[in-house]
Amino acid sequence: MACEEWRDKLDAYLDGELASAEAGAVSTHIRTCPQCSADALERVQLKRSVAAAGRRYEPNLELRARIMRIAGAKPPRPVGWYWRIIAIPAALVVVLSVAVDVYVNHESARRERVYSELIDLHVGALASATPVDVISSDRHTVKPWFQGKIPFTFNLPELQGTDFTLVGGRVTYLGQTPGAHLIYQIRKHEISVFIVQDRGAETVSFPSGSSRALSFNVENWTQGGLRYFVVGDAGASDIEALSKLLRGAG
């Protein structure tokens, strides 16, 4: 079958293992082939189900720390008063070091899961027969459509004179938080913009700026109580340019 070559690349594409040019070709094919589109969507749903099952039994931070303390425990032995004085600050250093290491690793893992979920939402939308619920290149049509559907408002930039085109938007959920999912197009690339409420300590801490996750370029920042994520297989300069427009619309 003609699609066999493309199907062999779907897993690599969904896992972000393809080069930018090849990923763009697969993305274009998915949008024009109903069979590959359905196949890609099914694989995305399977990935998300497996990820959700894995998170169900993930040990929390307290349990991780307890396990590490138990693993590092040694039988007590009599020591003089001098060594006890030295041992107290040394033990504090070790405990703090372990706690910081566990916290950093835990936060890093949580960030990776969020990035993975965002990429799944991005790929899943593009693989869907209806990637957006409101189809319009007019920001004055797309923005009002979200009123009453999500618990916040946001502004969209004017794109006249730029290479970007607004395709439309849909309501999405990041974790259990409702938000806006906008799709922009530049040349042959689609870029997803996710906007959710930034709940401070309740959400994962993300260092603002650009990064790369599963071969997709990602930029994020907070502004006006909202968290923005810009995700796509477009070049880093295009992601940065669209992010600058969005921040300017703020």
184 & 132 share domain: yes
Strands 134-135 and 226-232: unpaired
| pLDDT bracket for residue 208 (50, 70, 90) | low
Render pLDDT for 82-135 as a digit per residue (tens, 0 to 9).
555 555 554 444 444 444 344 334 456 667 778 888 888 898 888 888 889 999
10 & 80 share domain: no
**pTM of whole model > 0.85?**
no
Among residues 44, 79, 105, which one ends one of the domains?
105
| pLDDT bracket for residue 223 (50, 70, 90) | very high
Domain extent for 96 = 57-105
Report the CATH number at residue 182.
3.30.200.100
11 vs 184 pLDDT, higher one: 184
Lowest mean pLDDT among 31-35, 66-70, 80-84: 80-84
190 & 233 share domain: yes
CA–CA distance, 47 with 55 (Å, rounded to integer): 12
Q: What is the mean pLDDT of residues 229-235?
A: 91
Among residues 67, 83, 105, which one ends one of the domains?
105
Q: Considering its fold, how many domains does the chain have in total?
A: 2
123 & 210 share domain: yes
Beta bridge partners of 98: none
- Helices 34-56, 81-127: inter-axial angle, 10-degree rounding: 160
Render pLDDT for 127-183 as a digit per residue (tens, 0 to 9).
888 889 999 999 999 999 999 999 999 999 999 999 999 999 999 988 778 999 999
132 & 28 share domain: yes
Answer yes or no: is pLDDT of 226 > 80: yes
Residue 236: burial class (beta carbons within 10 Å; 0-12, 13-18, 19+)? middle
77 & 159 share domain: no
160 & 221 share domain: yes
36 & 84 share domain: no
Among residues 105, 121, 140, which one ends one of the domains?
105
